[in-house]
Each structure stands twice: as structure tokens, then as C-alpha cells.
């Protein structure tokens, strides 16, 4: 089979089963600047714009941007392909593939600072969106700016150097717009954080307040909006095996392809200061209040992923779908989700039981082959968002918390085992603190619960939580996860 290297010149040579752009990928205007162009953004927000462009002619395009060294590699790969990439969506035997051209540029901020500042000051830039993961917001366990964060300290003290944090970068970019006449703009968070728009707004205001820039504060108040969003599409890391599959089946040579499930959802608060694409034509939902949808997704899907990850790795699994084929693990995850659904407010037109059934099916999708180690990353911030609030609600109501206890105990034991076994990888913004506090989690659980980045003092001192958690940690330490799973059969 002849290989086709992606470029604007050769989309017609692709396999007939590949959806190619009906629009001119590089002809539009970079009206959206997106910070954090990873696989998820390209399977979700960029794909929504692609779907819109396939149906309706408009000149909206996305300029990607990144702060990390890996973002330079992404820029170079996309540039070599005229910013085209393939998206393969898979579910059992059903597979669809599209060539996406919604991005038309990319800025690596540390090496292209002037280009970034120039784009931020342009009138035709309407939206700055983000997928930077929870740790990119530099918040503490109360979702306020962590002024002790090393990146934030750098940005506040090094007035001559470009900012190193996403928050610092956003503040500087908005200052460019202020200097150009206070051009209105929308900051659109697309991360899995409850009330993500409000969190971003609060943290940015706190940062600007520490800067002491009253003019910028006034601009934020008058010309910038922060709509909340709920985003959903399971998108694993692209492995070399997937790249080879793309070459062998479709004859496509793509340096940065994306593979995801076919399910996709985007719920957005309709509060845009400078206009927006008609994403509703691509299936997005615009609502007045996103919060109920956010909490449903974060507590059931994201929390379910974390609950599944540590327990399943301890049980010897590497992939999500393999773990879900274990009936006891599947029963546990089902029980966990039903435990947490009781902390959610009703949503008109949504049946939580149906949602849970769909999640179990999605988790078990063998085509996605999502790695459990990916789900295990950044546990402290994920658990803070997805597990701690519902845990507090259930404790206050005197309800069952056995699913949450199992999730937290297996997380703690996983970290404990990582001290001597490198197979238990801990990628976390506070990894060193977690490991140090997990040296003796049975006899000294208090030290782990003193980690304020995760556990509020009120929770760490609640014996209705601490004593059963200690017993659950003891059980998994002495008898393994099989013993815990018996409670959910």
C-alpha cells in the first residue's frame, strides 16, 4: 500500500472511507486561540468546529498555543502536515475516520512570545479557550489561586520575563487587548473542573489583584466573559501501535493522529462577549446553567475513572476495558456510580441510571484501549474535584460511603506501593508529598489526611470518615483488592 503523507495538496488521494474537509482548512481567520492542544482538544473542541465547517461556511479557525516542551513537538508535527490530522473514532466493530483542518496555526509561547502577544491584541480574536488540566490552573484545595506555586511566584516577581504559568500568560495576553482599546473577548475553559468558568475567573482576578493592576481588573470586569462548560469524550494516548494501524489500514502517515470513542458531548453556557461559532449546528448544547451537567460528568465519569484506575492496576490490569471485563470490578464501578448519583440534583431530560449504563458500556469499549496509568495521573487534583465534595455530602447525610472508601484506600495503597515498585507510577503535581505521607498508611493515616491540597481539615478530623478509611486501607494492605471487591458482588 502506498503511504499518503498529510498535506493540503493530497487529501483527494486518501482512502474513500476517510471524511475530508469540505472547507478550505487554511483559509479562515484565527478567531480562537486555544491553549493546550493535546489529543482531547483535537478530538473534541477542534472536531466540533470541523463538524460545523462541514455543514456551514464560516471563517472561524483555531490557532493552537502551548507552554510545554512537548507543545513544540506538536507544533512541528502539525506544521509539517499543514495543520491537518486524522481523528479515528472507534466502538466495537464500528469505525469512522476524518481528516480535520480546524487548526490553521500554532504558537509555542516560550519561543514565539512576540507572535503570541500580537495575536492576543488582534481585534478578530474572539475566544481564548483552554484545556490545560486541573494542575494548570495553579489552585489550592479551595479552588483559589495558590500564590505559593512556583510558577505563579515566578510570574509575579519576574516582571521582565515572559510568564511561565497559563494564568500568567492569560493575564498578559488580556493586557495586550486592554492596550489595544479594551477589545472584548471570551475565556472558555474546557477542563474537568466544577464551574470551570467561574474558577478560571476567580483565579485570574486573584492573580491580577496580586499584580496590583487596577486597569486590567476593570477590563476583566467590563470586557471579558467566562462561560462554564461540560466536555466529554474519552480520548486515550496515541500509541505507536495506533500509528502503525493507521498506516496499514488507511495508508495514512500522520505524526499526530488521534483515536477516541464515538460518543461526544459539549454543554456550554451561552455567554460570549465577542461572538462565537454556531457550534449548535455541530451538536453542542447551549444552556443557562451548566453546573448540573458538570457535576454529573465529573462525579460519575471522571470520579469513576479514578475509582477504577488504582484498584484495577492493583488487580494486575493495564487497560480499562480488560478491567471492566472483570465482573467484580464492573459491579464495584456500578455501585460506586450509584452511590455518587445521590449527591446530584435532578437534570430535566436526564436519567442518571441510563447515564450510568452508558458509562459502563463506554468504559468497557475494547476499541478505545485506554490505559489505566493515564487515568491514574494527577490523582490529587482529580480526587479533590470528583470525590471530596460528594464525600462531604454523603457524610453529612449519614449515607453509605463504601464506594468512596474503596476508591480512596486503593489510591493511598497504590502510592504506598510506588515507594518500592516503579510499576506503580505516580504522576502528580504533589507526588513527593504523597509518597512521603504514604510510607505507613495503616498506622499513620493521619499524615496522609493532613495533605490539605486534597483533604480539608474538617474531613480529616471526622471519625465517621477516618476510622472506616483506616480499616479499608488495612484490608487492602493485608488481603488485597479481591477482599474489598467482595463487598460489591
154 three-class SS: helix
Within 10 A of 283 (CB to CB), how many other CB atoms are there?
A: 12
Q: Which of 263, 227, 212 is nearest to 129 (CA)?
A: 227
DSSP secondary structure code for residue 487 in this structure: G
Task: Please answer whether residues 378 and 134 qualify as being in contact, where contact means their C-beta atoms are separated by less than 8 angstroms.
Answer: yes
pLDDT level of residue 15 (50, 70, 90 thresholds): confident
213 three-class SS: coil
> What is the β-pairing status of strands 265-269 and 285-287?
parallel
Q: How far apart are CA 341 and CA 297, in angstroms?
A: 10
Over residues 100-111, mean pLDDT: 97
- The Cα-based distances of 105 to 51, 53, 101, 102, 115 in angstroms read 19, 17, 10, 10, 11
- Which class for 255: exposed (0-12), middle (13-18), buried (19 or more C-beta within 10 A)? middle
Tell me the pLDDT tens digit for each residue of 345-402: 999 999 999 999 999 999 999 999 999 999 999 999 999 999 999 999 999 999 999 9
Instruction: Give me the helices (H) in 180-302, please.
Output: 196-211, 214-223, 240-250, 291-296
Q: What is the model's pTM?
A: 0.93
For 424-428, the CB contacts below 8 A with 24+ separation are 424/313, 425/373, 425/376, 426/376, 426/379, 427/376, 427/377, 427/378, 428/377, 428/378, 428/379, 428/380, 428/381
Over residues 403-414, mean pLDDT: 98
pLDDT at 13 over 70: no
pLDDT at 1 over 70: no
Question: Which string of b and e fits 116-136 if b means at least 16 CB within 10 Å?
Answer: bbebbbbeebbbbbbbbbbbb
pLDDT at 12 over 60: no
Over residues 409-425, mean pLDDT: 95
Residue 268's H or E segment, with its range, is: strand 265-269
Tell me the pLDDT tens digit for each residue of 21-74: 999 988 889 999 999 999 999 999 999 999 999 999 899 999 999 999 999 999
Q: How far apart are CA 14 and CA 216, in angstroms?
A: 49
More confident residue, 445 or 142: 445
Instruction: Give me the helices (H) in 275-428, please.
Output: 291-296, 303-314, 320-324, 327-341, 352-363, 372-375, 379-386, 388-397, 402-418
Amino acid at each position: 500500500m502506498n503511504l499518503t503523507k498529510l498535506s493540503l495538496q493530497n487529501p483527494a488521494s486518501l482512502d474513500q472511507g476517510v471524511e475530508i474537509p469540505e472547507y478550505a482548512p487554511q483559509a479562515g481567520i484565527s478567531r480562537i486561540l486555544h491553549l493546550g492542544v493535546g489529543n482531547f482538544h483535537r478530538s473534541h473542541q477542534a472536531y466540533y468546529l470541523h463538524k460545523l465547517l462541514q455543514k456551514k461556511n464560516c471563517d472561524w479557525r483555531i490557532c493552537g498555543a502551548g507552554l510545554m516542551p512537548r507543545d513544540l513537538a506538536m507544533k512541528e508535527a502539525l506544521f509539517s502536515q499543514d495543520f491537518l490530522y486524522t481523528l479515528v473514532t472507534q466502538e466495537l466493530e464500528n469505525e469512522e475516520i476524518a481528516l480535520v483542518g480546524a487548526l490553521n496555526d500554532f504558537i509555542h509561547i516560550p519561543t514565539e512570545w512576540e507572535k503570541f502577544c500580537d495575536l492576543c491584541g488582534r481585534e478578530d480574536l474572539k475566544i481564548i479557550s483552554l484545556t490545560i488540566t486541573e494542575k494548570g490552573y495553579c489552585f489550592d484545595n479551595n479552588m483559589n489561586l495558590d500564590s505559593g506555586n512556583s510558577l505563579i511566584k515566578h510570574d509575579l516577581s519576574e516582571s521582565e520575563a515572559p510568564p511561565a504559568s497559563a494564568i500568567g500568560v492569560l493575564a498578559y495576553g488580556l493586557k495586550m487587548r486592554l492596550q489595544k482599546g479594551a477589545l472584548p473577548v471570551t475565556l472558555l475553559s474546557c477542563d474537568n473542573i466544577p464551574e470551570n468558568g467561574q474558577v478560571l475567573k476567580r483565579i485570574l482576578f486573584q492573580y491580577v489583584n496580586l499584580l496590583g493592576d487596577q486597569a486590567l481588573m476593570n477590563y476583566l470586569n467590563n470586557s471579558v466573559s467566562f462561560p462554564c462548560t461540560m466536555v466529554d469524550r474519552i480520548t486515550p494516548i496515541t500509541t505507536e501501535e495506533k500509528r502503525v494501524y493507521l498506516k496499514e489500514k488507511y495508508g495514512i502517515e500522520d505524526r499526530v493522529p488521534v483515536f477516541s470513542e464515538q460518543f461526544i458531548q459539549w454543554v456550554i453556557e451561552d455567554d460570549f462577549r465577542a461572538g462565537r461559532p454556531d457550534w449548535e449546528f455541530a451538536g453542542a448544547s447551549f444552556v443557562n446553567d451548566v453546573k448540573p451537567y458538570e457535576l454529573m460528568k465529573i462525579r460519575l465519569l471522571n470520579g469513576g475513572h479514578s475509582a477504577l484506575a488504582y484498584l484495577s492496576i492493583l488487580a494486575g490490569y493495564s487497560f480499562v476495558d480488560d478491567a471492566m471485563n472483570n465482573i467484580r470490578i464492573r459491579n464495584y464501578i456500578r455501585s460506586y456510580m450509584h452511590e455518587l448519583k445521590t449527591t446530584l440534583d435532578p437534570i430535566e431530560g436526564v436519567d442518571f441510571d441510563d447515564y450510568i449504563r452508558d458509562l459502563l458500556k463506554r468504559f468497557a469499549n475494547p476499541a478505545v484501549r485506554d490505559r489505566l496509568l493515564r487515568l491514574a495521573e494527577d490523582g490529587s487534583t482529580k480526587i479533590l474535584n470528583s470525590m471530596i465534595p460528594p464525600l462531604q455530602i454523603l457524610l453529612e447525610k449519614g449515607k453509605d460511603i463504601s464506594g468512596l472508601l474503596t476508591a480512596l484506600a486503593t489510591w493511598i495503597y497504590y502510592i504506598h506501593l510506588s515507594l518500592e515498585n516503579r510499576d506503580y507510577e505516580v504522576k502528580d503535581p504533589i507526588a513527593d508529598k504523597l509518597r512521603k505521607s504514604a510510607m505507613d498508611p495503616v498506622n499513620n493515616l493521619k499524615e496522609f489526611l493532613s495533605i490539605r491540597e486534597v483533604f480539608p481539615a474538617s474531613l480529616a478530623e471526622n471519625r465517621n470518615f477516618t476510622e472506616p478509611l483506616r480499616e479499608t486501607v488495612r484490608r487492602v494492605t493485608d488481603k488485597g483488592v479481591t477482599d474489598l471487591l467482595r463487598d460489591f458482588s
